[in-house]
Structure 1
Amino acid sequence: MTESPASDGPPRALLIAAIVVAVSVLITVLGIAASRQRSPQQRPVAIPSIPAPQADSAHCHDLLNALPQQLGDFRRAPTVDPTPPGTAAWRAEPDAEPVVLRCGLERPTDFVVGTPLQVVDEIQWFRVGDSGAGSPAAYAEDQGRSTWYAVDRPVYVALTLPAGSGPTPIQQISGQIARTMPAQEPVPAPAR
């Protein structure tokens, strides 16, 4: 009897196909790993410290704990230590200007009786105009950004938005504020 060499193992074509599939999977996995290493990490956002006497309040803690990881195209970003209490930041791209939230601030000095407010999803917002140095608005204005204060809650919440950010960040933050803080009548300063 003569033995057939084909009966000693799997067919040669099947063996070649298995090797090709294994190599393809390995190349794909290595390619994905390499592209993740090349994609830039988000730089931490430096948030300047300003007076925020109620930043450690229960209202601010509740809001910060409820903040989403994403605001439209903006993803939660790390912050430079020491991070001021009551703050958070998001970025659309690793080096893009951030959205910055501050909770527990003092009443904005420009918020006086008769000041126009804008309502976004149940929250009354005041857009800060010209302000002194060291305020969120002064920080924002030198970068073409705008700062809005939620003025109808137990603590003031400021949201600084980059130019062209669209309505999504303020809408989503409005929803979180409405869910975590009770509404109250705004208390503007007497008109000057």
Structure 2
Amino acid sequence: MAVAIALPVLLALVVAGLGVYGRATAGPDTGPLALPARAAPQAADPRCDAVLAALPAELPGGAGSLPSRELDPAVPGARAWVAEPEPVVLRCGTERPAELVPTASLIVVNGVTWLPLPAPEGVPSRTYSAVDRGIFLELTAPPGVGPGPLQAVSDAISQALARS
């Protein structure tokens, strides 16, 4: 009787352990990504099209390059790249950030002025808003990818849009 009870319990533990191991060793998710809803009233603006066209298919990051990731459903003005633990996401045509005040601390990366936005509690990713091109863009990236995505996106913005 004890064996009849212990065997299914043991089998369930082994299967659960394999599932955890598989998730831990599978690498980043590369399948289609469904982005959460986010206000981007100017996402269909031609300036966003120009930036998106100037973006590289892969971004530098971490120990190599970050390949692009399909969005499903497609989101106007948005692109994503594979990264861990979360993807790198660029959204163009977003609303003016409330944090953009005269005393805000800004950074300049490859000629583009960015406003670091506060991360919600428990969220490891950092979000930056490009604030000097007449249209707002937001880039969100996990800290493990380093500065490569911010630099590459800044290059694309500089190439596609004049400073306003």
Query: Under a length normalisation based on structure 1, what TM-score does the superposition of the two structures give?
Result: 0.65
Q: Say which SS state the counterpart of residue 169 (structure 1) adopts.
A: helix
Residue 40 of structure 1 and its aligned partner are, at CA, apart by 9.1
Please give the alpha-carbon distance, in whole angstroms, between the structure 2 residues aligned to 1:86 and 1:49. 13
* Distance of 1:92 and 1:117 partners within structure 2: 25
Which of 112, 115, 118 aligns to 1:123? It is 112
Higher relative contact order (CA 8 A, sep 6+): 2
1:155 corresponds to which of 128, 135, 144:
135
The answer for unaligned runs of 5 or more in structure 2 is: 1-26
Equivalent residue for 2:71?
Answer: 79
Q: Distance in 2 between matches of 1:40 and 1:158?
A: 22
Helix, strand or coil at the partner of 2:80 = strand
The one-letter amino acid paired with 1:66 is A
Given that 1:124 and 1:151 are in contact with CA atoms closer than 8 Å, whether structure 2 keeps it comes out as: yes
RMSD of the alignment, in Å?
Answer: 1.9
Structure showing the higher strand proportion among its residues = 2
For the pair shown, which has the larger CA radius of gyration, 1 or 2? 1
Instruction: Give a deviation string over 1:91-114, Cα, whole Å, max 9, x none.
Output: 147xx4100000001101111111
Q: What are the equivalent positions in structure 2 for 1:53-64 lying under 5 Å apart?
A: 53-64=41-52
Spell out the pairing of 1:90-169 with structure 2 (5 A cutoff). 90-92=81-83, 96-129=85-118, 137-138=119-120, 142-169=122-149
Q: What letter matches 1:86 in structure 2?
A: G
Q: Which runs of 5+ in 1 are unaligned?
A: 1-38, 130-136, 185-192
CA–CA separation in structure 2 for the residues paired with 1:99 and 1:41: 12
Pick one of 30, 37, 48 that aligns with 1:49: 37
**TM-score, with normalisation over the residues of structure 2?**
0.76
Q: 1:40 to 1:113 in 2, by over 3 A?
A: closer
Q: Contact 2:83/2:145 (CA < 8 Å) preserved in 1?
A: no
> Once the two structures are aligned, what percentage of the paired residues are identical?
40
